[in-house]
Amino acid sequence: MIDDIAEKIYRDERISKADALRLFAHPNVVELGALADVVRRRKWPADRVTYNIGRNINYTNVCWVKCDFCAFYRPPGSGEGYLLPKEQIFRKIDDLIAVGGNAPKGSEILMQGGLNPKLRVDYYEDLFSDIRSRYPQVHQHCLSATEIIYIAHISRLSLEDCIRRLRDAGLDSIPGAGAEILSDQVRDIIGFRKDRVREWLAVHRIAHELGMHTSATMMYGHVETIEQRIEHLAHIRKLQDETGGFTAFIAWNFQPDDTALGADSARWNGAKTSGFDYLRTIAISRLFLDNVKSFQASWVTQGAKIAQVSLKYGVNDFGSTMMEENVVSAAGTSHADAMTLREMQRLIRDAGYAPIRRNTRYEIVN
């Protein structure tokens, strides 16, 4: 029974980690969805779902960290490694402009890559400033915390100085990538060379203090326990209490194909998480993260049907058009090829909502 927790939610009271653990053990996922929908409608009362016109750009796949859950990276020196020329990046942005129009900061590029040892902060300053000069209407939502930590290290800068310089060059906001599960115990298993939890949180805290917004993510369904999922959410909620700088939360499950972790039966049990677990996890996250306004569907990993259902499980945003997806598809699962802007709008309408375009800050465009 979860009647006492439901009463907390109806009274708009914060639930505890112990409450969240009980919710994960609750067998009726429909009840969890109904509670999450109460919270979602408290924050987004209208029957509408937002979406963003954006484009993914993976500027490099060279990365020395070699995370065991990643099939996208290529180590330095690999013949399959690349660094996109600036003109090719510009052509990709031109394609975005053709779809998204010229609304000020109404279109987004999500540009991420790897930890490429040849790239210092001046490379990114030059790239971001050129994009800002050429495409002032485009919002630059770029680089994971992991990339920024490495750029600062290799450029011999403090995190604050590095983020400030990137911001001044044209970086508008920072995505939540690289969080995986915010537990050093988990990180030691799936990517022991990655940054520590305190470092990931520090990037986002500093960015918020410098007036930037960021998003928060969670990649679940690998080696973590339910308690560690909840601890991850607790880290995000605590930082949001301090800064208020997270615009949204996005969760997706581990994609095992062609990854070292997926092939290692000693670490991973071989059971890919289900749509049930996604809906349960996103609903409980909505209930726990009472201070994060927007939740984004992960149609890339879950597919269109589960993404539609998630709109009744606390999700208010369908995400970005993306136009290109390389990281998830490298691990064998991606639904990006089938998602056009028109299809996204149709899926939202068919689920009973009005599709409304927003920008990266979740402000309504036009």
Domain span at residue 131 reads: 3-357
Q: Could you please report the per-residue DSSP string of 291-346? A: T--EEE--HHHHHHHHHHHHTTTT--EEEE--S---HHHHTT---GGG--HHHHHH
Would you state the pLDDT for residue 338?
58
Q: Is the residue at 344 inside a domain?
A: yes
pLDDT band at 217 (very low <50, low <70, confident <90, very high): very high
Share of the chain above pLDDT 70, in %: 93
CA distance 42 to 270: 38
CA distance 141 to 172: 6
Q: Is the residue at 155 inside a domain?
A: yes
Q: Is the residue at 209 inside a domain?
A: yes
Mean pLDDT of 109-129: 95
* Mean pLDDT over the full length of the chain: 91
Q: Is the residue at 327 inside a domain?
A: yes
Q: Which residue has the higher pLDDT, 339 or 177?
A: 177
Angle at which helices 17-25 and 275-288 cross, to 10°: 160
Q: What 3 state SS string does 77-89 have?
A: CCCCCCECCHHHH
Determine which helix (DSSP H) or strand (DSSP E) holds 218, and give its type and residue range: strand 213-220
Residue 184: count of CB within 10 angstroms of its CB? 13
Residue type, 362: Y
Of 82, 126, 43, the closest CA to residue 315 belongs to 43
**Residues 78, 23 contacting (CB under 8 angstroms):** no
**Residues 330, 353 contacting (CB under 8 angstroms):** no
Would you state the pLDDT for residue 335?
47
Q: Is the residue at 363 inside a domain?
A: no
Q: Is the residue at 365 inside a domain?
A: no
| Cα dihedral across residues 182, 187, 190, 192: positive or negative | positive
Q: Is the residue at 248 inside a domain?
A: yes
Q: What is the CATH number of the domain that holds 187?
A: 3.20.20.70
User: 93 — phi, psi (to 5°)?
Assistant: -70, -35
Of 119, 47, 42, 57, the closest CA to residue 93 belongs to 57
Q: Which two tokens stand for residue 148?
A: 């920024």
Q: Which residue has the higher pLDDT, 334 or 306?
A: 306
Residue 284: count of CB within 10 angstroms of its CB? 28
**Residues 140, 132 contacting (CB under 8 angstroms):** yes
- Least confidently predicted of 45-59, 71-85, 112-126, 132-146: 71-85
Q: Which residues pair with 252 in a beta bridge?
A: 219
Domain count, the chain: 1
| Cα dihedral across residues 297, 303, 304, 309: positive or negative | negative
- Least confidently predicted of 95-109, 167-181, 232-246: 95-109
Would you state the pLDDT for residue 330?
44
Q: Is the pLDDT reported for residue 149 higher than 70?
A: yes
Mean pLDDT of 186-213: 94
pLDDT band at 328 (very low <50, low <70, confident <90, very high): very low
CA distance 342 to 340: 5
pLDDT band at 323 (very low <50, low <70, confident <90, very high): confident
Would you state the pLDDT for residue 331?
42
- Tell me the helix, strand and coil percentages in the chain, rounded to 5: 45, 15, 40
Mean pLDDT of 57-84: 84
